[in-house]
């Protein structure tokens, strides 16, 4: 391993050591063919936060494409940003795929909360898209549960 490779490796280790993980809040439309099982925001120094998520095809049909939408809310629950991930491709029936979304649409403060969900999906061989509007569900997920 050359000196440049060693320096690069040490820099990567230092960045990884400085990274923090924060769970994102997941919302889902009841009829969504794709569900998010887990979503975590990874933040490293001097880099935008990255949403890491796992998506599972809950249907018996292969999904050709699906998109994930992330909402960024401030500590008071005001929507600061909405960002859609580029379409993810080919999610076979009953399988799980891991992916990421770089949250670079607006600055994210330490008290901000990230809410994510699948907002579109298209089955293989179909021209029709399944769609869901998630903003109301995202807002509802921020509210404390009623006693």
- Give the pLDDT confidence score for residue 71 in this predicted structure: 97
Cα–Cα distance between 55 and 57 in angstroms, integer?
A: 7
- Tokens for 57, please give them: 């095809």
Cα–Cα distance between 8 and 126 in angstroms, integer?
A: 45
Instruction: Tell me the pLDDT tens digit for each residue of 25-64.
Output: 999 999 999 999 999 999 988 889 999 999 999 999 999 9
Q: Residue 15 domain-assigned?
A: no
- Residues in the chain where the model's pLDDT stays below 50: 7-11, 13-15
CA quadruple 15, 20, 21, 24: dihedral, nearest 10: -110
Structural domain tally of the chain?
Answer: 1
Q: Residue 24 domain-assigned?
A: yes
8-state DSSP, 12: H
| CATH number of the structural domain spanning residue 90 | 2.60.40.10
In which domain, by residue range, is 69 found? 20-142
State how far the alpha carbon of 129 is from the alpha carbons of 30, 84, 105, 120, in Å. 16, 16, 25, 7
Q: Residue 13 domain-assigned?
A: no
- Tokens for 22, please give them: 């924060």
């Amino acid at each position: 391993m050359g000196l440049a490779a060693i320096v690069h490796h040490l820099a990567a280790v230092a960045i990884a050591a400085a990274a923090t993980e924060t769970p994102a809040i997941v919302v889902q439309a009841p009829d969504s063919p794709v569900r998010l099982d887990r979503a975590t925001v990874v933040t490293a120094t001097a880099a935008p936060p990255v949403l890491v998520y796992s998506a599972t095809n809950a249907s018996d049909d292969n999904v050709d494409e699906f998109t994930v939408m992330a909402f960024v809310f401030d500590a008071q629950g005001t929507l600061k940003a909405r960002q859609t991930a580029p379409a993810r491709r080919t999610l076979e029936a009953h399988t799980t795929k891991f992916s990421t979304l770089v949250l670079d649409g607006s600055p994210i403060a330490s008290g901000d909360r990230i809410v994510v969900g699948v907002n579109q999906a298209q089955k293989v061989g179909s021209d029709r898209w399944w769609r869901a509007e998630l903003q109301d569900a995202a807002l509802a997920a921020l509210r404390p549960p009623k006693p």
